[in-house]
Chains A and B, each alone.
Chain A
């Protein structure tokens, strides 16, 4: 699992998504960002919008109302939905 990101999206009711992906684009409060493997550790505030997870050329969209995200130094991305 060298060059993938472990993406985990959780809401209070369920785990929405939990898998390895190539890149993730997220809507933060200050604009859209894309997280690639080996991203620096980051904590940010998400705005309403769409999270797009890309894996093997395919895109998976998730509509969100906002939340928080954390990228750790070992390429794990956790999204807490509101």
Chain B
């Protein structure tokens, strides 16, 4: 049995851990609220952007455009953007993303295509380096509610990628609620109506606290209309494509990162809360054994004293 001293030490240690995890919970709660509001505020914009993109994609399909975002080279090389966090201790947040990414990569490789990754977040970069898959590029420091300007380094690369890869996918965590996040893989490039449709549907959860009814109804109307008539592009389709497509693509990536951030902080907060609870349990458990050990010692001493006095009396 552990001695009284070691138990006391353990209790002290656990209490320290509990304090730390509680502080981390509080910190991530604040960050979560912030990143959540940023992500939720960006949703109507992202939905509207995707709807416009869809109209453009319809128009482009008719016009047989050669814009690199629609016509990517057929070279069997696929690029995957993986969005993780820079820091750990966020429960299964990063594990889930990386697991999904690995699954996706295996699928692609089984089709006989080559795949490269772009790591967003330190965790992804380290993960892929360890597995001998040098990331094409890695980005970090995008964890705390980014501005559009912070992501510009990433955006500059996108045009290049469109010319080099057959398709670009992004693997990120969609924020559904504090307790529920969903890892998704979405196709960014080339633009296709089906891919965009899927993204629009993915943005807003169907029900629950964060289901924005306005956005949901907007999705429906967008689906039923717009089929019949052709769009005019002003000043010209080429100029519109050149200016608008990169901007809207950037919005998609930016939005994915925002969702991932909200998910990261929620996930960390939940993980830290359960860590705090577990530490509490552990302290209770240790206190119990400490009391037992103390009582056992007292009993032993009492027995010794009574035993001694009886020996003297006789």
Instruction: Please determine whether chains A and B interact with each other in the same assembly.
Output: yes
Number of A-B residue pairs with CB-CB distance less than 8 Å in the complex they form: 83
- In the bound complex, residues from chain B placing their C-beta under 8 Å from that of A80 are 45, 48-49, 52, 248
- In the bound complex, residues from chain A placing their C-beta under 8 Å from that of B45 are 10-12, 80
- In the bound complex, residues from chain A placing their C-beta under 8 Å from that of B42 are 12-13
In the complex, chain B residues 219-263 whose Cβ is within 8 Å of any chain A Cβ:
221, 225-226, 228-235, 239-240, 243-244, 247-248, 251, 254
- Bound-state CA distance A80–B244 (Å) is 11
Nearest B residue to A81 via CB reads: B45
Q: Do B55 and A45 touch across chains, with their CB atoms under 8 A apart?
A: no
- CB of B63 within 8 A of chain A? no
- In the bound complex, residues from chain A placing their C-beta under 8 Å from that of B230 are 41
How many interface residues does chain B have, given as a range? 20 to 34
- In the bound complex, residues from chain A placing their C-beta under 8 Å from that of B49 are 80
- Bound-state CA distance A69–B165 (Å) is 30
- Bound-state CA distance A46–B83 (Å) is 32
A interface vs B, CB < 8 Å? 8, 10-15, 18, 28-30, 33, 40-45, 68, 70, 72-74, 76, 78, 80, 82
Nearest A residue to B215 via CB reads: A15
- In the bound complex, residues from chain A placing their C-beta under 8 Å from that of B48 are 8, 10, 78, 80
9 interchain residue pairs of minimum CB distance: A44-B234, A73-B229, A41-B231, A42-B232, A70-B52, A10-B45, A30-B235, A78-B48, A74-B225
- In the bound complex, residues from chain B placing their C-beta under 8 Å from that of A15 are 44
- Bound-state CA distance A18–B52 (Å) is 17
- CB of B51 within 8 A of chain A? yes
Q: Do B233 and A44 touch across chains, with their CB atoms under 8 A apart?
A: yes
Q: Do A43 and B231 touch across chains, with their CB atoms under 8 A apart?
A: yes
Secondary structure class of chain A's binding surface, majority of residues:
strand
- Bound-state CA distance A41–B240 (Å) is 14
Distance (Å) between the CB of A19 and the closest chain B CB? 12
- CB of B148 within 8 A of chain A? yes
- Bound-state CA distance A68–B45 (Å) is 12
- The contact of A70 among B55, B148, B229, B243, by CB within 8 Å, is B55
In the complex, chain B residues 177-233 whose Cβ is within 8 Å of any chain A Cβ:
214, 221, 225-226, 228-233
- In the bound complex, residues from chain A placing their C-beta under 8 Å from that of B225 are 72-74
- CB of B1 within 8 A of chain A? no
- In the bound complex, residues from chain A placing their C-beta under 8 Å from that of B97 are none
- CB of B119 within 8 A of chain A? no
- Bound-state CA distance A11–B87 (Å) is 30
- CB of B41 within 8 A of chain A? yes
Nearest B residue to A9 via CB reads: B48
Distance (Å) between the CB of A29 and the closest chain B CB? 6
- In the bound complex, residues from chain A placing their C-beta under 8 Å from that of B101 are none
- CB of B269 within 8 A of chain A? no
Distance (Å) between the CB of A47 and the closest chain B CB? 11
- In the bound complex, residues from chain B placing their C-beta under 8 Å from that of A43 are 52, 55-56, 59, 231-234, 240, 244
- Bound-state CA distance A13–B56 (Å) is 24
Q: Do B234 and A68 touch across chains, with their CB atoms under 8 A apart?
A: no
Known: A15-B44, A68-B52, A72-B55. A42 touches B231 (CB 8 A): yes
- Bound-state CA distance A68–B49 (Å) is 9
In the complex, chain B residues 245-287 whose Cβ is within 8 Å of any chain A Cβ:
247-248, 251, 254
- The contact of B234 among A12, A42, A72, A74, by CB within 8 Å, is A42
In the complex, chain B residues 138-152 whose Cβ is within 8 Å of any chain A Cβ:
148
- The contact of B243 among A8, A40, A45, by CB within 8 Å, is A45
